[in-house]
Structure 1
């Protein structure tokens, strides 16, 4: 059977494995024979036999990764980053690992911990886009000139006046020469964009309480990790990074979106909810582009606060007066 789309290949990955509860480690230990010549030199130098054999297994699907990756990312560079993450993923099922990596490749993100991460949830590998991954896709849309995301610390100089004209409404001068201790704890996370048109987006500002509310309300991964002795979600281990990522994600309400960015948001949410992250087939791009265009229109309308959009006043509808019975009778007589 010919698998014409990446989505077909990803779905096929979930049924090609002989045992759904088998792990990458078990698959690697069953691999016989010497390490093939095409195995990366860097992987051989590491000496981690299980990870090396797991990478060898993944390299059999190199054509799938090549087709999924954009032209500017080499498949060898992608797999090298995968190799570094493999020791923590050997307890995952092979099908979930292939699917997570194909999803990562589909968005042109390298799982290097900065752009994206492949995280283990039980025996399931999950693709998690990081803040820099969102930034990369914003640039690829062609509508965004620059993206700014940062953290304000207690020792920094900053000012935020939403009622002031842009760009005077927000300034931030980090205390770069101060030590981490003197710079103080983080107070706020922020994100904004300069558009290709020259306009600046609304500044998204989140304090710690805002971030905690987002975590508590929307992150199912955090709730699952609240089990005694677990506490291994990114909200537990990298709170500040998730804080900044939350500010960046909220830009989708005020920044022009692409279909690819809409798909990334959906894949990120699906992974957090424990759902299968199915890569969108080309036929579904039309629906995503429609969502992106709607978001773009909303973003464009929110960029220029000085522009007034006047709407015509609603007209009062007047119902025709009811005629009395005598009047109707008189009119009938007149027509005769």
Structure 2
């Protein structure tokens, strides 16, 4: 009998700890009904005197084969579930179906729910997969055409300039005033993002003001609206506005960098979660038209950043007019 998922997670967390023998390994997943409610999972843990996260993790173990298939080869299953276990205490009140779906969605994108790459968040009784800024950067690198991604914020006391008509990299400069105190540096006034391609070209610079970020929040975030109306004010836009501001700038890079079907699907899953909809990972074929549009946008952006392409243009040519025959030639032709 193989070690339980809980024991494998513990092995990752503490490799020196003594591991139970195969004979001593007992799983309690069979004791928990397949259609358990969140309260039943919580009550089960209390009744057994066990840790809530361990009981929920034991329940998830029955779907271990699904997670193994979903996770890409470069993501260690033990590390993935170690991050899951750390998040579970705040998720046991979610419906089991939504928790399983959110975690599987996270696994399919090859992102670890560690707070940097992705987060599994509770919205009422629903678990929601939320990709973070580093998760978007990770998927951009996986395209194989993006060399580096830069995301930052300009503060009031920083030196910066933005001239979209100037050639890259002179169109945007930012010198953070790192020697100043936080008070002297002031509040953030802009979030920006850009990428350098493996080809050496640079994407357009995406710049978002605070007003831009607030408009995105008010128009698209159902979680923000619900938290605002309920008075809880616990959405990410409430608790970590600056991170969401940066993430919004980063998301807009998708129009000017090479896209993959995986990145298109991540954007759609993120949008669905923000709108309170079911997060479904679409097949790459369903995103073909979006990929074509994104590729065309990237080519236009890449061309606009190439100074040689802007300088060397073919000279216009006169269209050659057909020679007019003389009257005598036309008479000869008729004969």
Query: TM-score, normalised to structure 1's length?
Result: 0.77
Q: 2:281 aligns with which of 275, 279, 282?
A: 279
Name the CA distance, whole Å, in 1 between partners of 2:261 and 2:115: 24
Name the CA distance, whole Å, in 2 between partners of 1:86 and 1:59: 13
Residue 95 (1) aligns with residue 97 (2): yes
**Residues 35 and 96 of structure 2 are in contact (CA less than 8 Å); yes or no, is this contact kept in structure 1?**
no
Cross-structure match for 1:297: 296
Residue 246 (1) aligns with residue 248 (2): yes
1:291: how far off?
Answer: 1.9
Name the CA distance, whole Å, in 2 between partners of 1:126 and 1:228: 18
Q: 1:27 aligns with which of 27, 41, 53?
A: 41
Name the CA distance, whole Å, in 2 between partners of 1:228 and 1:293: 41
Query: For residues 222-277 of structure 1, what are the alpha-carbon distances to aligned partners after superposition, in whole Å with 9 as ceiling and x for unaligned?
Result: 11221142211111111101100110011111111100000000000111111111
Name the CA distance, whole Å, in 1 between partners of 2:46 and 2:246: 45
**Residues 62 and 75 of structure 1 are in contact (CA less than 8 Å); yes or no, is this contact kept in structure 2?**
no
1:17: how far off?
Answer: 4.3
Name the CA distance, whole Å, in 1 between partners of 2:74 and 2:42: 30
State the SS of the aligned residue for 2:169.
coil
Residue 120 (1) aligns with residue 119 (2): no
Name the CA distance, whole Å, in 2 between partners of 1:301 and 1:163: 15
Q: 2:35 aligns with which of 4, 12, 18?
A: 18
1:32: how far off?
Answer: 10
Cross-structure match for 1:158: 160
Q: Which ranges in structure 2 are unaligned for 5 or more consecutive residues?
A: 1-32, 317-335
Cross-structure match for 1:225: 227
Name the CA distance, whole Å, in 1 between partners of 2:134 and 2:62: 29
Question: Larger RCO: Structure 1 or Structure 2 (Cα < 8 Å, ≥ 6 residues apart)?
Answer: 1
**Residues 258 and 289 of structure 1 are in contact (CA less than 8 Å); yes or no, is this contact kept in structure 2?**
no
Distance 1:184 1:32, change over 3 A: closer
State the SS of the aligned residue for 2:228.
coil
Distance 1:231 1:28, change over 3 A: closer
**Residues 42 and 93 of structure 2 are in contact (CA less than 8 Å); yes or no, is this contact kept in structure 1?**
no
Distance 1:242 1:225, change over 3 A: same
Name the CA distance, whole Å, in 2 between partners of 1:31 and 1:154: 51
Q: Which ranges in structure 1 are unaligned for 5 or more consecutive residues?
A: 1-15, 36-47, 313-336
Cross-structure match for 1:45: none
1:289: how far off?
Answer: 3.9
Name the CA distance, whole Å, in 1 between partners of 2:48 and 2:218: 49
Name the CA distance, whole Å, in 2 between partners of 1:90 and 1:31: 10
Moved over 4 A (4+): 31-35, 306-310
For the aligned residues, what is the CA RMSD? 2.3
Query: TM-score, normalised to structure 2's length?
Result: 0.78
Name the CA distance, whole Å, in 2 between partners of 1:278 and 1:192: 28
Name the CA distance, whole Å, in 2 between partners of 1:33 and 1:217: 44
State the SS of the aligned residue for 1:171.
strand
Query: For residues 1-57 of structure 1, what are the alpha-carbon distances to aligned partners after superposition, in whole Å with 9 as ceiling and x for unaligned?
Result: xxxxxxxxxxxxxxx9436xx11x52253369989xxxxxxxxxxxx7111211122
